[in-house]
């Protein structure tokens, strides 16, 4: 297991390097002047020239690449034109909010998707199953931004149960950061009012973000459970007198978990990408919103930064899932 882990981590590192190279490619292969791209559309020609000198954009490509990689490895992701602050600092500020949102959404997706997928498989073709099937297929088709707007309209405006946007109401002060995750920090400080406020703010965006993930997890889990329940070793287990509930919960679920895990990994990626949409709709102060506002302002460096961060999180999750795969299925440990 150890060599397997080491190998996977090595792949992770390699991919991150490759990703950095890819972002370099995007910046330089894109039509248009890279210096102008960095300087922004409002820059004068002189400013563009200064940028060109400063960033060494007149040097040969491979030199630029070396500088670029060097910068990245020291954590220099450039500066944002709009705020003039280093991109790295701004990322550090915005990542926790996105992280919190994604974690809550993921938890929702798994905690609802897996059990309902199981139930759907066991009660196949009955009413529950039909409902969940429709739900799971529409869940993926639902445009996240549209869904978010509708939920806002309904729950926040019409019913006024939940706030429209943001992470905390303006009247609340955020707790002293320990984990930088609002929900956990407010609990750790015992500030229950803050916790309640933060919770009510996170519900709608988390639901919207989790929806396609939930739907997919439900589908895959249901499909895999159905298939496993028909497999030979389940027949044998029944023949040996093992109870149905045990068969479903332990035997079948363990076997069905693998493709479900794979789907979780896939959906996590889509979810990370969807943060740009959900954070825009709900004014959630995370890296998604940061990327969008930067892109609209033609501020390119932050966009690259966000892409790298998202890529990193995605890759790391995939690596963790690969490790989990090998832990669950001993047959995979050799590869």
Partner 1 sequence: MTALLNIDNYRLDIPTFDGVLKVLDGIDITLEQGDTLGIVGESGCGKTVLARSILGIGPRNAKRVSGHIVFDSTALDELSEADWRRVRGVKISMIFQDPMTYLNPLLTIGRQLSDVIAAHYRAQGKSAPGRAERHARCERLLEQVQIADTQRVLKSYPHQLSGGMRQRILIAMALAGEPKLLIADEPTTALDVTIQAQILKLLRDLVDRLGLTVVMISHDVGAIAALSRRVAVMYAGTVVEQGMAESILTRPRHPYTRGLLAALPDIEGDAQPLESIPGTIPNLINPPSGCRFHPRCLRATAICRQEKPETRSVGADHVVACHHAYD
Partner 2 sequence: MSAEFQDTAVHVPTFKERHASTIRQWRLYIHLFRGSFSSMLGLALVLLFLILAAFGPMLAPYPEDTMGAVKLGQRLLPPSLAHPFGTDEMGADILSRVIVGARTSLWIGLVITGLGAGIGVPLGIIAGYKGGFLRAAIMRVTDLFLAVPGLALALAIVAALGPGITNCVIALAIVWWPGYVRLVEAKTLSIKEELHVEAARALGAKTPWILRRHILPNCLTPIVVKASMDMGMAILSAASLGFIGLGAKPPHPEWGSMISVARTYMPDWWWYSAFPGLAIFLTVLGFNLLGDGLRDILDPRSRGR
Q: How many CB atoms lie within 10 A of CB 288?
A: 26
Q: How many CB atoms lie within 10 A of CB 250?
A: 12
Do residues 198 and 180 touch, judged by C-beta distance below 8 A?
Answer: no
The correct pick among 243, 273, 283, 296 for binding partner 1 (CB under 8 A) is 243
Give the range of 183-191, 203-211, 254-262, 270-278 binding partner 2 by CB under 8 A: 270-278
Tell me how far apart the alpha carbons of residues 177 and 10 are, in angstroms, rounded to a whole number: 33
Name the nearest CA neighbour of 196 among 188, 204, 205, 187.
187
Name the nearest CA neighbour of 218 among 115, 80, 79.
115
Do residues 114 and 221 touch, judged by C-beta distance below 8 A?
Answer: yes
Q: What is the DSSP string of 121-168?
A: HHTTTSHHHHHHHHHHHHHHHS-HHHHHHHHIIIIIIIS--S-SSSSS
Do residues 335 and 36 touch, judged by C-beta distance below 8 A?
Answer: no
Give the range of 75-83, 143-151, 172-180, 239-247 binding partner 2 by CB under 8 A: 143-151
Q: How far is the CB of 272 from partner 2 (least distance, A)?
A: 5
157 binds partner 2 (CB under 8 A): yes
What is the C-alpha end-to-end distance of the chain, expressed in Å?
10
Name the nearest CA neighbour of 309 among 290, 295, 322, 323.
290
The correct pick among 244, 249, 273, 283 for binding partner 1 (CB under 8 A) is 244
The correct pick among 49, 71, 76, 227 for binding partner 2 (CB under 8 A) is 227
237 binds partner 1 (CB under 8 A): yes
Q: How many residues bind partner 2 (CB under 8 A)?
A: 57
The correct pick among 231, 249, 283, 316 for binding partner 1 (CB under 8 A) is 231
Tell me how far apart the alpha carbons of residues 180 and 111 are, in angstroms, rounded to a whole number: 24
Tell me how far apart the alpha carbons of residues 202 and 6 are, in angstroms, rounded to a whole number: 37
233 binds partner 1 (CB under 8 A): yes
Give the range of 32-40, 153-161, 162-170, 324-332 binding partner 1 by CB under 8 A: 324-332
b vs e for 8-40, b when ≥16 Cβ sit within 10 Å of the residue's Cβ? eeeebeebbeebbeebbeebeeeeeebbbbbbb
Binding mask 19-58 for partner 2 (x = CB under 8 A): x--xx--xx--xxx----x---------------------
126 binds partner 1 (CB under 8 A): no
144 binds partner 2 (CB under 8 A): yes
Tracing tokens 């739907």 back to the chain, one arrives at: 215
Contact partner, 272, from partner 1, partner 2, none, Cβ < 5-8 Å per class: partner 2
Identify the bridge partners of residue 79 per DSSP, sorted by sequence position: 86
128 binds partner 2 (CB under 8 A): no
92 binds partner 2 (CB under 8 A): no
Binding mask 8-47 for partner 1 (x = CB under 8 A): ----------------------------------------
239 binds partner 1 (CB under 8 A): yes
The residue ranges that bind partner 1 (CB under 8 A) are: 231-233, 235-244, 246, 251, 254-255, 328-331
Residues at the interface with partner 2 (CB under 8 A): 15, 18-19, 22-23, 26-27, 30-32, 37, 124, 133-134, 137-138, 140-146, 149-150, 152-153, 157, 223, 226-227, 230, 269-274, 276-277, 280-281, 291-292, 294-296, 298, 300, 303-304, 306-307, 310-311, 314-315
């Amino acid at each position: 297991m150890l060599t397997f882990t080491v190998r996977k981590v090595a792949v992770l590192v390699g991919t991150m390097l490759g990703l950095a190279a890819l972002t370099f490619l995007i910046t330089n292969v894109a039509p248009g002047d890279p210096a102008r791209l960095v300087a922004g559309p409002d820059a004068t020609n002189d400013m563009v020239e200064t940028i060109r000198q400063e960033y060494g954009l007149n040097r040969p490509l491979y030199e630029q690449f070396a500088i670029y990689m060097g910068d990245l490895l020291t954590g220099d992701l450039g500066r944002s034109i709009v705020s003039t602050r280093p991109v790295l600092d701004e990322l550090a500020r915005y990542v926790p909010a996105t992280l919190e949102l994604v974690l809550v959404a993921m938890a929702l997706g798994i905690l609802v998707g897996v059990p309902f997928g199981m139930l759907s498989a066991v009660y196949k073709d009955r009413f529950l199953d039909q409902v969940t099937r429709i739900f799971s297929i529409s869940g993926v088709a639902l445009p996240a931004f549209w869904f978010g707007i509708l939920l806002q309209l309904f729950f926040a405006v019409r019913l006024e149960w939940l706030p429209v946007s943001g992470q905390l109401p303006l009247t609340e002060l955020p707790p002293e950061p320990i984990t930088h995750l609002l929900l956990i920090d407010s609990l750790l400080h015992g500030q229950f009012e803050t916790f309640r406020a933060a919770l009510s703010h996170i519900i709608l965006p988390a639901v919207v973000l989790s929806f396609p993930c939930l739907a997919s997890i439900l589908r895959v889990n249901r499909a895999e459970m159905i298939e496993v329940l028909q497999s030979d070793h389940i027949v044998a287990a029944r023949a040996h007198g093992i109870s149905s509930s045990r068969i479903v919960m332990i035997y079948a679920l363990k076997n069905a978990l693998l493709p479900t895990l794979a789907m979780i990994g896939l959906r996590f990626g889509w979810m990370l990408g969807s943060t740009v949409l959900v954070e825009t709709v709900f004014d959630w102060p995370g890296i998604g919103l940061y990327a969008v506002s930067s892109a609209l302002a033609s501020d390119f460096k932050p966009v690259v930064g966000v892409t790298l961060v998202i890529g990193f999180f995605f890759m790391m999750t995939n690596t963790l899932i690969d490790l989990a795969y090998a832990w669950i299925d001993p047959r995979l440990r050799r590869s």
